[in-house]
Amino acid sequence: MNATLAIYPGTFDPITNGHISVINRGLKIFDKLIISLLHNPQKVPLFSLEERIHMIRDVLRSLPNVEVDTFDGLLVDYAVRKNARVILRGLRALSDFEYEFQMALMNRKLNREVQSIFLMTDYKWFYTSSTIIKEAARFGGDITGLVPPMVAAKLREKFGHPKKNA
């Protein structure tokens, strides 16, 4: 097992500046991160798996030591397959805590060799999420600064809102 490798799992529908902050800070702790998108046929995301991977690769292209991958089934089994023993998650406001705590405890029950590690999201992104950003974008709200410009453009395109001139 490689102690300096961490899995950063999620849905990333789409990737936000909050995720990127966790990735940048995770890279100060771990030598390598695998950003792993859950392939979940039960969930209907706004962006397809391919679109989400494309956006992540594009916005992280200058970062070395980051791999983008997909998984299905149990996260801990995937981590073992990847020879990783750390799962990295970002924690925002208190509202995240219960869900993350539940997930970490379940993952720990499933495999005690895989550790969950949390990084507090930078205060700037404390109250944002992919879901709330999508909601604002759907109705033409300005999401500048919350997602990378390329992702903002994709959201505008998805919801049919042309870019407003400043």
Site residues (CB under 6 A) for ligand PNS? 9-11, 38, 74-75, 103, 106-107
Per annotation, catalytic residue among 19, 82, 85, 154? 19
Which residues neighbour 54 within 8 Å (Cβ) at sequence distance 6 or greater?
A: none
Q: Which is nearer to ligand PNS, 132 or 161 (CB)?
A: 132
Q: Which is nearer to ligand PNS, 109 or 164 (CB)?
A: 109
Annotation marks residue 124 as catalytic: no
Q: Which is nearer to ligand PNS, 68 or 75 (CB)?
A: 75
Per annotation, catalytic residue among 28, 43, 109, 164? 43
Q: Give the residues across from 152 on adjacent strands.
A: none
Q: In angstroms, what is the minimal distance from the CB of 81 to ligand PNS?
A: 13
Q: In angstroms, what is the minimal distance from the CB of 74 to ligand PNS?
A: 4
Annotation marks residue 19 as catalytic: yes
Which residues neighbour 43 within 8 Å (Cβ) at sequence distance 6 or greater?
A: 11
Q: In angstroms, what is the minimal distance from the CB of 40 to ligand PNS?
A: 7
CA dist., res. 86 & res. 83, Å (int): 9
Q: In angstroms, what is the minimal distance from the CB of 106 to ligand PNS?
A: 4
Annotation marks residue 92 as catalytic: yes
- Closest to 10 (Cα-Cα) out of 78, 58, 63: 78
Per annotation, catalytic residue among 52, 129, 130, 134? 130
Please report, for residues 2, 123, 124, 134, 146, the alpha-carbon distance to residue 127 in angstroms, rounded to integers and kept in the order given.
33, 8, 8, 14, 10
Query: Do 53 and 37 contact (CB within 8 A), yes or no?
Result: yes
Active centre residues (catalytic)? 19, 43, 92, 130
